[in-house]
């Protein structure tokens, strides 16, 4: 125990002497939490529409006005032909082309039916899918409207729809920031714990100081704990800072208990630090460690449901997602922050994280060799 105290003192001294790391500890959470949620805005706005109106009738004009007034679209051009309108998409000026065929109004009145063309630039998948479906919703609404106007009275089977009323639970206005801010908090802890610990031991290897450590009677667990504890403390400070920023900037205050959040953050940090230590026992230079850690952290991030829903991944991908600690932590943070889930609700995730912490750290201790 006494030896561990000497090791901790040395580690803390080294951390606090490194001004860059200190600055990053404070600046990273603040800046990332302020900038990233703005960039990770999943609402689709400003969909640029090029319109080809071959009808020039009252109704086609009404439809165009309605689309323009919806707030999601910008009518950027009225092109005389589809070919020219497509030119706007090719030049990346438009996202969607709406083509109204000749005889639009006449057919609607006479035949009670008319098709119109919607072409979407699908390079930006999210924008295309959401923009396209918004447009369809607007058109459907228009459709409904003209039918009712025409008949002016209730006719069974026509102009009738089942109306749907939404209510978004736990995030009433379906605001993206409630979804993204907890994710960014997770991202922060992952970066801090995963990278700092991986780089730290490898740096001792590069400097040659690890050899001096290996020739002392320091026990393996003392050395590993000596590395774990300081970064764990740093991680907890960053987490606290992140919660503060979420409160001050976004007004997000966890609905659930703080104790529960901190409990999970504590276990999660141990798991991720174990991951970092493990990487450092397999690599010999900071460059290698950085690459290996980056490779895994990248997979962790993209597979974890931080940005996309794990449920919509293919089965095998969901299995991989379950094998990354980030998945479980991000789920819990969202549940506790937005929904106020209690320990009973997240027991399973807790077990997962404890398992990750135990396995990764034991592996790291096992693989760290004082004698090669």
Which of 371, 195, 168 lies closest to 287 in space, CA to CA?
Answer: 195
Stretch 88-107 residues interacting with other proteins (CB under 8 A): none
Of 41, 46, 161, 209, the one binding other proteins by CB under 8 A: 209
Using rule CB under 8 A, residue 126 touches other proteins: no
What CA–CA distance (Å, rounded) separates 120 from 128? Answer: 6
Which residues, in sequence order, are bridge partners of residue 322? Answer: none
Work out how close the CB of 314 gets to other proteins at its nearest, in angstroms, rounded to a whole number. 44
Work out how close the CB of 227 gets to other proteins at its nearest, in angstroms, rounded to a whole number. 14
Using rule CB under 8 A, residue 284 touches other proteins: no
User: H-type helices in the chain, by residue range?
Assistant: 2-17, 19-39, 58-69, 82-90, 104-110, 125-151, 176-207, 209-214, 220-250, 258-282, 286-303, 315-322, 325-334, 347-367
Of 40, 128, 218, 237, the one binding other proteins by CB under 8 A: 218
Using rule CB under 8 A, residue 125 touches other proteins: no
Whichever of 5 and 110 has its CB closer to other proteins, that residue is 5
N-term to C-term CA, the chain: 26
What CA–CA distance (Å, rounded) separates 321 from 307? Answer: 13
What CA–CA distance (Å, rounded) separates 340 from 29? Answer: 23
- Starting at the edge strand found earlier in the chain, the sheet holding 73-79 runs 73-79, 47-53, 96-100, 117-120
What CA–CA distance (Å, rounded) separates 53 from 60? Answer: 7
| Span from 32-40, 120-128, 212-220, 303-311 in contact with other proteins (CB under 8 A) | 212-220
Of 10, 45, 151, 158, the one binding other proteins by CB under 8 A: 10
Work out how close the CB of 193 gets to other proteins at its nearest, in angstroms, rounded to a whole number. 22
Of 14, 70, 124, 286, the one binding other proteins by CB under 8 A: 14
> Beta 73-79 vs 96-100: how paired, if at all?
unpaired
Whichever of 5 and 106 has its CB closer to other proteins, that residue is 5
Stretch 312-371 residues interacting with other proteins (CB under 8 A): 370-371
Whichever of 133 and 212 has its CB closer to other proteins, that residue is 212
Work out how close the CB of 49 gets to other proteins at its nearest, in angstroms, rounded to a whole number. 59
Structure tokens at 129: 């899918």
Whichever of 167 and 372 has its CB closer to other proteins, that residue is 372
Using rule CB under 8 A, residue 161 touches other proteins: no
Q: What is the DSSP string of 111-176?
A: TS----EEEE--SSHHHHHHHHHHHHHHHHHHHHHHHHHHH-S-BTTBS---------TTSTT--H
Of 26, 69, 174, 215, the one binding other proteins by CB under 8 A: 215
What CA–CA distance (Å, rounded) separates 192 from 72? Answer: 38
72 contacts: CB under 8 Å, gap ≥ 6: 44, 45, 46, 47, 131, 134
Using rule CB under 8 A, residue 233 touches other proteins: no
| Number of chain residues interacting with other proteins (CB under 8 A) | 26
Work out how close the CB of 218 gets to other proteins at its nearest, in angstroms, rounded to a whole number. 5
Work out how close the CB of 17 gets to other proteins at its nearest, in angstroms, rounded to a whole number. 5
Using rule CB under 8 A, residue 150 touches other proteins: no
Which residue ranges make up the site for other proteins (CB under 8 A)?
2-3, 5-7, 9-10, 13-14, 17-18, 207-209, 211-219, 370-372
């Amino acid at each position: 125990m006494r030896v561990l105290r000497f090791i901790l003192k040395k580690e803390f001294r080294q951390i606090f002497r490194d001004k860059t790391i200190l600055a990053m500890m404070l600046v990273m959470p603040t800046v990332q939490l302020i900038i990233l949620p703005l960039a990770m805005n999943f609402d689709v706005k400003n969909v640029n529409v090029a319109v080809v109106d071959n009808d020039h009738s009252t109704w086609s004009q009404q439809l165009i006005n309605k689309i323009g007034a919806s707030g999601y679209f910008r009518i950027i051009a009225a092109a005389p032909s589809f070919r020219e309108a497509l030119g706007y998409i090719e030049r990346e000026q438009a996202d969607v082309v709406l083509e109204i065929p000749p005889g639009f109004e006449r057919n609607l009145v006479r035949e009670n039916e008319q098709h119109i063309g919607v072409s979407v630039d699908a390079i930006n998948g999210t924008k295309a899918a959401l923009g396209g479906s918004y447009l369809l919703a607007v058109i459907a609404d228009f459709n409904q409207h003209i039918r009712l106007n025409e008949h002016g009275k209730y006719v069974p089977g026509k102009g009738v729809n089942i109306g749907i009323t939404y209510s978004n639970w736990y995030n009433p206005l379906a605001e993206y920031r409630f979804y993204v801010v907890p994710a960014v908090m997770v991202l922060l802890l992952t970066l801090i714990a995963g990278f700092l610990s991986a780089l730290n031991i490898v740096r001792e290897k590069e400097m040659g100081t690890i050899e001096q450590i290996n020739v002392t009677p320091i026990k393996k667990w003392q050395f590993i704990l000596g590395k774990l504890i300081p970064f764990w403390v740093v991680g907890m400070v960053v987490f606290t800072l992140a919660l503060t920023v979420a409160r001050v900037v976004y007004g997000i205050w966890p609905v659930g208990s703080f104790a529960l959040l901190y409990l999970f953050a504590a276990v999660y940090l141990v798991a991720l630090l174990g991951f970092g230590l493990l990487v450092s026992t397999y690599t010999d230079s900071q460059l290698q460690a950085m690459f290996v850690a980056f490779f895994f952290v990248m997979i962790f991030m993209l597979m974890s449901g931080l940005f996309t829903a794990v449920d919509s991944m293919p089965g095998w991908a969901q299995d991989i997602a379950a094998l990354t600690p980030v998945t479980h932590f991000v789920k819990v943070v969202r549940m506790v922050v937005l929904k106020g889930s209690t320990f009973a609700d997240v027991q399973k995730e807790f077990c997962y994280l404890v398992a990750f912490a135990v396995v990764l750290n034991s592996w790291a201790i096992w693989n760290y060799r004082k004698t090669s």
